Amino acid sequence: MNKKTLGQKLLGTWNTKTIVGVAIGAALFGVLMNYGGIKVTTNTSLTSAYVIPAIVGALFGPLPAGLAAGLGNVVADLLGGWGFWFDWSIGNFVAGYFAGLVGLFGADVENGVFTPKHALIYAILCVIGCAVGFGVVTPFLTYMWYSSELTITWIQAWAAIVSDATVLIVVGLPLLFALAKRNARGTNLSKED
């Protein structure tokens, strides 16, 4: 197992595999955003799409996770037809980035390393990411670009924080554990006393 530097961990390693991974993540995100959720308020829904940044982040790193979520939101806007909300895309980017940071703390889903400690760190990161992404970045950008409707944006932001963090944790965690277990090769060996 090769050690990665901090910079590489923050940016993710960029090779063909990462590009394809981000693309497939964005496609899944876009489709699930449209057809894989229940509406909570307008423009926000309890959607299964938010497991995608968790997986992309665990497999490829934080920046790919953010890109998958951000581009995925653009794809969703294009398919869904509710107009383009680039403020939300960037909020998604931030939330996805945070969800992908778990690799920084030693989790390595690709090689089957994902312990309850990582799960806890991941849960905290998700909450912080959603809070920063949808609670700070999106309302700020909404105010800057569309200069309107802050009350509604706040309601939507709160709904987004709660629903997306819930999905990231409640659906994302079992999936990450399953994925880690699936990828575990030779990690289940224990030292005999």
Which residues contribute to the site for another protein (CB under 8 A)? 14-17, 19-24, 26-28, 30-32, 34-36, 41-43, 48, 51-52, 55, 59, 67, 71-72, 75, 77-84, 86, 145-149, 151-152, 171, 175, 178-179, 182
Write down the least CB distance from residue 190 to another protein, Å.
27
Query: Closest separation between CB of residue 193 and another protein, Å?
Result: 36
Which of 10, 1, 122, 5 is CA-nearest to residue 55?
A: 122
Give whichever of 29 and 98 is closer to another protein, judged by the CB atom.
Answer: 29
Shortest distance (Å) from residue 141 CB to another protein: 12
CB closer to another protein out of 136 and 178: 178
CA distance 47 to 159: 11
Q: Which residue has the tokens 């944006």?
A: 153
What does the block give as tokens for 21? 């991974």
Which of 140, 175, 156, 190 has its CA nearest to residue 52?
A: 175
CB of 16 to another protein, least distance (A): 4
Beta bridge partners of 44: 41
> Closer to another protein at the Cβ: 22 or 119?
22
Q: Residue 105 or residue 149: which is nearer to another protein going by CB?
A: 149
Which residues lie closer than 8 Å to 117 by C-beta, 6 or more apart? none
Strand bridging mode 37-41 / 44-47: antiparallel
Q: Which is nearer to another protein, 19 or 136 (CB)?
A: 19
